[in-house]
Amino acid sequence: MVGTWGMKRLRKYLRKVALEAGHHVSERDLLIFTDHPPRWDDWTEEDLMLFNRTLRALYNSPVSFRVFEKIVATYLLTKKWRKQLNYVPMAKKFPHLADTCFDWQWWDAPAEGAWQEGLDFKTFATGWRNRKPKWWGKRWSVVDQEAAMRPFADIWLSNDRLNPATPVQDHEDEDDPRTEGYELNLGRVTGEDCRKAQRQAEIYLAWKAKGRAPAAMAHPIPLSTWARPLNVPPQSQDTVNCGRDRCERCTESGMEECRVPAVANDPRCVTCRARKKGCSFGSPLTHAASRRTASATVVRAPSNRARTRTPASSGGARAGMKRRRGE
């Protein structure tokens, strides 16, 4: 990769290869794998390299980046395989391409600090992680391109994502975890970028519960804002709520912050006041009624808990570190 083959052309080629091999496509369908992954504590470094070789065979083929993403997310890193890989102890280092593809499947901000707006897999893999593919242009013949597609086709025919018969692939030596993959550029992002990535992850989880989460990191969650009303105290006096502490309307709208101004007898947040809507923190009407009835109105108090992810120990498992996009 990376070439111009779309899913239609790839399926046509796989069908041709299957028929030549006497394989009945209806038995397993195109691109479908039914092999089972090793148990999380049974993965060896050789297994990880073989899985990386499968990814590399596809990465060096003439399919487009979009098709590569689709196959990895849908057919190779399926739920069962992701689950076992997620628990592989951190002491077993992932080969670089496998690590890049695995990271791409999750909403967690990458090691560089934060997901940037519009950061697609091409930029993430070739720019941020320096994973070189084999580039295919118009000067390459159809015969050459089909020959480059053949290793992945053979892996699919074998129905084995860890097929030891797969030949060594171009650039595979650069994927060896014992080699320096890339140097983290922590200067790419600022502290605000990191906070924004964390807020996007929190919004994603809230939307996921309602079935609204986007299916891919290529479609980042927008952060909404509303103009601040003029008749409220200055912003410096606000109570700021983030994550799950936001009011229901701010959570639903994808607001990165839920700010409650210092207004007596009106605990509504800035967003609800600007939109002239009721707020789950309370409203002037409920408080007026409480004064008339001399009964206390319970208003949800903001939490001061820090909402940061606890990092795993260097020798621990990957369990709990990853939240997959679109699930």
Give per-residue pLDDT as tens, 221-262.
777 777 888 888 888 899 988 877 888 888 888 787 889 999
Rounded to an integer, the average pLDDT of 213-220 is: 71
Q: Which residues are 241's β-sheet partners?
A: 258
182 has a pLDDT exceeding 90: no
Range name among 36-45, 47-56, 230-239 with the lowest pLDDT average: 230-239
Range name among 8-17, 101-110, 164-173, 301-310 with the lowest pLDDT average: 301-310
Instruction: In whole angstroms, give the CA distance from residue 310 to residue 308.
Output: 6
> Regarding predicted confidence, which is higher, 181 or 312?
181
Closest CA to 197 of 309, 54, 105: 309
3-class DSSP assignment, residue 37 = coil
Residue 66 to residues 5, 58, 62, 69, 70: CA-CA distances in angstroms? 10, 12, 12, 5, 6
The predicted structure's pLDDT at residue 287 = 39
68 has a pLDDT exceeding 80: yes
Instruction: In whole angstroms, give the CA distance from residue 32 to residue 289.
Output: 62
pLDDT band at 27 (very low <50, low <70, confident <90, very high): low
Which token pair is 186? 């922590």
The predicted structure's pLDDT at residue 153 = 96
Instruction: In whole angstroms, give the CA distance from residue 202 to residue 105.
Output: 17
Closest CA to 1 of 197, 180, 156, 140: 140
pTM over 0.85: no
Phi, psi of 241 (to 5 degrees): -115, 135
Return the amino acid letter for 271: T
pLDDT band at 292 (very low <50, low <70, confident <90, very high): very low
The average confidence (pLDDT) of the chain is 80
Q: What is the DSSP letter of 169?
A: P
| CA-based max dimension of the chain | 85
